[in-house]
């Protein structure tokens, strides 16, 4: 293979390109060759700007204003001869900085892992098999399949293009899609924007389909060569992070004012200036939760990783916060509420219904056709119907080996189309044979607006040896034949004739009524219905547009496909309803089918309304907004209707999640509060637009993601509450002591240790909680609710007072017991506050639930955090070589008899506060239920 990745591939014919890259257009590369080329060329991705190293990150930790003041203070201590205290302060500052770097690194790694999972995939052919793999694994010579809505994963020379249009604005700035042709050979010097036989990385297919051979990857692509580096963008702070950052700054300024006041009052009281300075600065550091942003990021990132285990991949951090407030889920039916395991069970043609027996297939598994055959060879109309469905089809069966003496197959393609291929195979019609005898020469791809697709074929004479073949019943075999399949009503409207009684004849109104009645009956049985038609052509049209191809069709029949509901959807809808979340079905299927499925899964309420796309067209936005809360099902809708629906729900005050999988769904995904794309069936455009991607296309995963979003937000509130109540208590303890003329209960070093311990491990452990058991029985959180709401504010007030009370009580008793040993009294105060905070961390695990309901030992990370913190505290108190550093005193059993009862005061206070919150919450839920 040539090493020159800058060859003018557009100026070479297809065989020369394939030969130069040593590949095959239908077989692709071998696995060994692809592996070797990946090793040689590297991954197919653009290089990112280098990340800051450990040393840079560490230095950044010291750029905090308060930390700089503390370093200055330690230097002053050093000059004044207090070497031990100066060294201890510097050691704690460095330890705090290292902890900050570790937290940042963990957050970044977690986000990087998420980003890797969110990376685009490519549909390729290797070793003759169609498969999907991450785009970063593409190599020159790979054969890539291109479909509407997908991004071009690398620079490719087209080897096949069917009505292919590509939007190249990312590369050329031209907003109008470029029509592509594979068969042309262009001049070597032709400008980039005019290379009609080539497609470039990061551009997007807007129409048609194609196939191309990869000619350049990664930094060798045009995007890389012209230095339009798509650098890894830095995640912008989420609204929650902005709020917490503002909160931290507010607390910081308030703490600085109070600390300044503490310093001034101390000087007025003729206390040691250096001691007061160190205390004031240490108090400022303790009061400001510097670790909060890093802990929030880690909590969000780890929460997003938990979501991945529940099949929901969040592409943007702010979506976590929005998920917790979701009040409505607008879900597609097919594949999301149903299993997307389509099986054709009925055929209707020539006034007869034919039952199709046998097993279906698993979309991502293997199946056999044993026991599923049915005979249509003597039924010309049925054979024609199956042939139309088989030829007008992009899915195919692939032999995957043998199992128990049976041949097993794998379906590749769209599940609905796959069902038609399987039905035809059961009757003995195989796609490879049909396409060999009637090759496709042109097509009009499926479009969600038209709700149909058409293909044009050139029938071979040998293929029509069957005397019942309808194409020549009224004459000789036509040169070309159009096959069309799609929504029955729309296909029927395009038909002027019908195949009946083994001949083509004009379609009557009675025929149309009979077809509509069968369509209605099938839909009422929760079947998805497709119509099929054909049209003989004397010549291939020069312009293969829907207007020229899809007209004067001959109606053949209907396919009735069953797609059973997912068993997990019904309980998920019940769970969502209990959580105050409305579920709405939005589908392009018929009203009867939609209603039947909605009733099976419990989505359609007794008084719930059903609207169709035609109803929406007749209604104004205001009229829809008035009844939006009453509508449970929207049937026969287009992607444009989705925007109207989501706007109506938002106008009613809903935080709406909207699912989508096609290119035309992008506007609705963007306008919704939470755009949800399908990971299996979704296009790259829909995934790029969405906030969240479902890796299993399952409605239940949306509800699980909402639950996880609530858990994450609740956990963030828990450690915010825990940190702030402790920090405010520390300020109150020092401030009251100075105002009361008491000695300081806590030294500067003790404040720093307290800050390190309470702001560190226990707070992070709170961020890893699994969530309250009743979290999905609470109403959604209002979007405008502040992080510190009224309930939390009262909790902070009561807990700060409790912490202050027990610390000053312990300190006062210590002063009386040890009038000549201030260190003993300080150690009692220090032990009381720190151990009570560690004990209170257990109570802070839930905002409302009792500690005993949650279970004391159910969060193993809390056990690790509390145990490690307790060991550090006991070491400070009892290890002889640390006692001079922290001025600590080894407490005896007498001191612990005072301290131990006091430790339970804050956690008991918290449990009392939660009792009243639970009671208030029950009243709110009862009032909502009554409303």
pLDDT of 229: 41
**Taking the mean position of all CA atoms in its chain, how far away is CA 587?**
22
| pLDDT (tens digit per residue) in 366-392 | 445 554 445 555 577 888 999 999 999
| pLDDT (tens digit per residue) in 196-221 | 999 998 788 888 889 999 999 888 88
Give DSSP secondary structure letters for 662-673.
SGGGHHHHHHSS
For residue 729, what are the CA distances in angstroms to 197, 255, 453, 822?
70, 12, 69, 21
SS3 state at 11 = helix
Structure tokens at 161: 């293009």
Where does residue 48 rank: exposed (0-12), middle (13-18), buried (19+ CB within 10 A)?
exposed
Q: Strand pairing of 352-355 and 503-506?
A: unpaired
Task: Report, as residue numbers or ranges, the catalytic residues.
Answer: 332
pLDDT of 894: 94
SS3 state at 737 = helix
Lowest average pLDDT, out of 70-74, 124-128, 333-337, 411-415, goes to: 70-74
Backbone dihedral region of 43: left (phi > 0), alpha (psi from -120 to 50 degrees) or beta?
beta
Lowest average pLDDT, out of 59-73, 414-428, 905-919, goes to: 59-73
| pLDDT (tens digit per residue) in 149-176 | 788 889 999 999 888 888 887 676 666 7
Give percent of the chain with pLDDT exceeding 70: 83
Where does residue 825 rank: exposed (0-12), middle (13-18), buried (19+ CB within 10 A)?
buried
pLDDT band at 779 (very low <50, low <70, confident <90, very high): confident
pLDDT of 176: 72
Rounded to 5°, angle at Cα 331 from 328 and 332 = 160
Residue 150 is given by DSSP the state: P
Structure tokens at 851: 């500690």
What CA–CA distance (Å, rounded) separates 535 from 451? 18
- Closest C-alpha to 14, from 197, 201, 210, 205: 197
What CA–CA distance (Å, rounded) separates 676 from 330? 10
| pLDDT (tens digit per residue) in 274-293 | 777 777 776 666 666 656 66
Give the position of tokens 């080329």.
37
- Closest C-alpha to 111, from 397, 357, 305: 305
pLDDT band at 104 (very low <50, low <70, confident <90, very high): low
| pLDDT (tens digit per residue) in 406-436 | 677 878 778 888 889 988 888 888 888 888 8
pLDDT at 233 over 60: no
Which carries the bigger pLDDT value, residue 923 or residue 161?
161
Q: How many residues are given for the chain?
A: 931
- Closest C-alpha to 751, from 717, 771, 726: 726
SS3 state at 588 = coil
Residue 338 is given by DSSP the state: B
What residue ranges in 750-872 does DSSP mark as E strands?
A: none
Element (H, E) at 611: strand 609-612
Q: Which residues of 16-25 are buried (b: 16+ CB within 10 A; e: fewer)?
A: ebbebbebeb
Q: What is the mean pLDDT of residues 191-195?
A: 83
What CA–CA distance (Å, rounded) separates 906 from 918? 18
- Closest C-alpha to 769, from 702, 863, 909, 694: 863
pLDDT band at 363 (very low <50, low <70, confident <90, very high): very low
Q: How many helices (H) and strands (E) does the chain have?
A: 33, 26
What CA–CA distance (Å, rounded) separates 447 from 148? 9
Those residues with Cβ within 8 angstroms of residue 367's Cβ, 6 or more apart along the chain or in another chain? 359, 360, 361, 408, 409, 411
Q: pTM to 2 decimals?
A: 0.75
Q: What is the mean pLDDT of residues 642-648?
A: 93
pLDDT band at 3 (very low <50, low <70, confident <90, very high): very low
């Amino acid at each position: 293979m040539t090493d020159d990745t800058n060859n003018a591939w557009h100026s070479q014919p297809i065989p020369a390109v394939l030969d130069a890259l040593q590949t095959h257009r239908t077989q692709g590369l071998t696995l060994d060759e692809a592996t070797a080329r990946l090793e040689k060329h590297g991954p197919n991705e653009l290089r990112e700007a280098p990340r800051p190293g450990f040393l840079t990150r560490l230095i950044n930790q010291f750029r905090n204003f308060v930390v700089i003041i503390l370093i200055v203070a330690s230097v002053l201590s050093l000059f004044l001869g207090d070497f031990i205290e100066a060294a201890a302060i510097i050691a704690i500052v460095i330890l705090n900085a290292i902890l900050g770097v570790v937290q940042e690194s963990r957050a970044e790694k977690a986000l990087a892992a998420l980003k890797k999972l969110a990376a685009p995939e490519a549909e390729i052919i290797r070793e003759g098999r169609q498969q999907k793999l991450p785009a970063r694994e593409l190599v020159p010579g790979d054969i890539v399949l291109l479909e509407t809505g997908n991004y071009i994963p690398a620079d490719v020379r087209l080897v096949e293009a069917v009505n292919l249009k590509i939007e190249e604005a990312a590369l050329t700035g031209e907003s109008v899609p470029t029509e592509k042709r594979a068969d042309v050979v262009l001049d070597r010097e032709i400008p980039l924007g005019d290379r009609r036989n080539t497609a470039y990385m990061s551009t997007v297919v807007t129409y048609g389909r194609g196939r191309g051979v990869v000619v350049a990857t990664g930094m060798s692509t045009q995007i890389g060569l012209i230095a339009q580096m798509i650098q890894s963008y830095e995640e912008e702070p989420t609204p929650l992070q902005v709020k917490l950052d503002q909160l931290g700054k507010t607390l910081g300024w308030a703490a600085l004012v109070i600390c300044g006041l503490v310093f001034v009052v101390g000087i007025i009281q003729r206390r040691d200036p250096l001691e007061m300075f160190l205390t004031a600065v240490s108090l400022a550091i303790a009061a400001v939760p510097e670790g909060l942003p890093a802990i929030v990021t880690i909590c969000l990132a780890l929460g997003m990783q938990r979501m991945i285990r529940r099949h929901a991949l969040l592409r943007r951090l702010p979506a976590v916060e929005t998920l917790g407030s979701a009040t409505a889920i607008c879900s597609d039916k097919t594949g999301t509420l149903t299993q997307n395991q389509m099986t054709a069970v009925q055929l209707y043609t020539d006034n007869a219904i034919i039952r199709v027996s046998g097993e279906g297939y698993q979309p991502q598994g293997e199946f056999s056709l044993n026991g599923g055959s049915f005979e249509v060879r003597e039924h010309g109309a049925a054979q024609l119907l199956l042939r139309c469905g088989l030829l007008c089809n992009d899915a195919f069966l692939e032999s995957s080996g043998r199992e128990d003496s049976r041949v097993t197959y794998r379906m590749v393609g769209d599940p609905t189309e796959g069902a038609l291929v399987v039905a035809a195979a059961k009757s003995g019609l195989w796609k490879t044979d049909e396409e060999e005898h009637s090759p496709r020469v042109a097509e009009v791809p499926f479009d969600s607006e038209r709700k149909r697709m058409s293909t044009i074929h050139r029938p071979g004479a040998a293929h029509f040896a069957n005397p019942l073949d309808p194409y020549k019943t009224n004459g000789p075999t036509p040169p070309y034949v159009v096959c069309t399949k799609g929504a029955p009503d729309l296909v029927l409207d395009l038909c002027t004739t019908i195949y009946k009684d083994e001949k083509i004849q004009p379609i009557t109104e009675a025929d149309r009524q009979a077809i509509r009645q069968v369509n209605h009956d099938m839909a009422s049985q929760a079947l998805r219905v497709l119509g099929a038609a054909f049209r003989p052509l004397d010549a291939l049209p020069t312009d293969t547009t829907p207007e020229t191809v899809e007209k004067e069709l001959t109606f053949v029949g209907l396919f009735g496909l069953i797609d059973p509901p997912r068993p997990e959807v019904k309980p998920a809808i019940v769970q969502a309803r209990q959580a105050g979340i409305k579920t709405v079905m939005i589908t392009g299927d018929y009203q009867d089918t939609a209603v039947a499925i909605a009733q099976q899964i419990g989505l359609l309420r007794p008084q719930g309304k059903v609207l169709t796309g035609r109803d929406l067209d007749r209604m104004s936005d205001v009229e829809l907004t008035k009844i939006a809360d009453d509508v449970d099902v929207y049937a026969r809708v287009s992607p444009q209707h989705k925007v109207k629906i989501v706007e109506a729900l938002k106008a009613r005050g809903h935080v709406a999640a909207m699912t989508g999988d096609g290119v035309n769904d992008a506007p609705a995904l963007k306008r919704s509060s939470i755009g949800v794309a399908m990971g299996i069936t979704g296009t790259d455009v829909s995934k790029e637009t969405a906030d969240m991607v479902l890796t299993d296309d399952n409605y239940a995963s949306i509800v699980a993601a909402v639950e996880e979003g609530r858990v994450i937000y609740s956990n963030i509130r828990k450690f915010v509450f825990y940190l702030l109540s402790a920090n405010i208590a520390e300020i109150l303890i020092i401030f009251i002591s100075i105002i009361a003329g008491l000695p300081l209960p806590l030294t500067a070093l003790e404040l720093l240790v307290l800050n390190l311990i309470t702001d560190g491990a226990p707070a992070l452990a709170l961020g890893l909680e699994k969530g309250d058991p009743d979290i999905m029985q609470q109403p959604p959180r209002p979007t405008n609710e502040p992080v510190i709401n009224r309930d939390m504010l009262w909790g902070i007030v009561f807990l700060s007072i409790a912490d202050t009370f027990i610390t000053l009580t312990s300190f006062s008793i210590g002063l009386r017991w040890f009038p000549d040993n201030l260190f003993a009294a300080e150690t009692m105060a220090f032990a009381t506050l720190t151990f009570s905070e560690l004990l209170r961390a257990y109570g802070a695990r839930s905002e409302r639930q009792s500690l005993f309901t949650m279970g004391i030992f159910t969060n193993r990370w809390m056990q690790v955090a509390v145990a490690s913190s307790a060991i550090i505290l006991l070491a400070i108190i009892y290890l002889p070589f640390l006692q001079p550093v922290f001025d600590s005193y080894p407490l005896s059993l007498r001191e612990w008899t005072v301290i131990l009862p006091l430790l339970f005061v804050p956690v008991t206070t918290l449990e009392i506060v939660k009792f009243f919150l639970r009671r208030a919450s029950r009243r709110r839920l009862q009032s909502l239920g009554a409303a």
